[in-house]
Amino acid sequence: MNYDIDLEVKGLFAMYHDPSTGSSFGTYPFPTAGALTQMASSIARIHGAWPCPIHVGVCRPIEFGSHMCNYHGIYRKAGTDNFQFPTTVIVRPVYKVRYRIARRNRDRHLHTPFLGRKDFPASYLGPLRDTTSVCSDLNLEVPQMLRYTFPPEIFGSSFSPSFKDTFCRAGVIAYD
């Protein structure tokens, strides 16, 4: 049985990596479908429940900022502990999201909901609030935006990224 749910999500920072920026770690101006799915999956907790984002409303003007990230991975220079690199992030994002979901396990989280990167946990994820409204003057186009890195229909599937031209009209992005 499918039904729709509406959630509001808010955080201090968000980063939805745009692969076209290469190693410069740039962000899309709004969440990818995969990032929105991750947020709802953290609540769903059941792998059989597939949350599918229908649309998202941007409720605050998009503001970009810089963030320094520490890298401890295997590609660092030999003999060094780590290095820092700058990333472009979205500052204080607020979204209203509508999902189509099969079922939900109430009030349990698989992991902490985050805004693109686990460094940026959601400060609020819950029912819509009357104090938040969509920025109706926001209109953007993102050509070939990453939708998913793994096919959403198959849990545990292999890497198979999909891209699609994505539009923000009157502050709302439709994921169809």
pLDDT at 46: 52
Q: How confident is the model at residue 125 (pLDDT cuts 50, 70, 90)?
A: confident
DSSP-assigned beta bridge partners for residue 15: none
**Mean pLDDT of all residues in 47-71:** 87
In a domain, 154, yes or no: no
In a domain, 145, yes or no: no
Q: Does residue 92 have a pLDDT over 70? A: yes
Total structural domains within the chain:
1
**Mean pLDDT of all residues in 19-40:** 85
The overall average pLDDT reported for the chain is 83
Taking alpha carbons only, the member of 163, 147, 121 closest to residue 36 is: 147
Query: What is the share, in percent, of the chain residues with pLDDT greater than 90?
Result: 38
Alpha-carbon torsion 6, 170, 119, 75, what sign? positive
In a domain, 162, yes or no: no
CA–CA dist 176, 103 (Å, integer)? 20
In a domain, 52, yes or no: yes
**Mean pLDDT of all residues in 81-105:** 84
In a domain, 166, yes or no: no
pLDDT at 9: 93
Q: How confident is the model at residue 155 (pLDDT cuts 50, 70, 90)?
A: low
* 3-state SS class at 91: strand
pLDDT at 20: 85
* 3-state SS class at 38: helix
Q: How confident is the model at residue 89 (pLDDT cuts 50, 70, 90)?
A: very high
CA–CA dist 147, 133 (Å, integer)? 25
In a domain, 170, yes or no: no
Domain extent for 15 = 3-135
Q: Does residue 156 have a pLDDT over 70? A: no
CATH code for the domain in which residue 110 is found: 3.30.70.2660
In a domain, 156, yes or no: no
Q: How confident is the model at residue 96 (pLDDT cuts 50, 70, 90)?
A: very high
Quote the tokens at residue 157.
Answer: 């599937």
Eight-state DSSP code of residue 104 = -
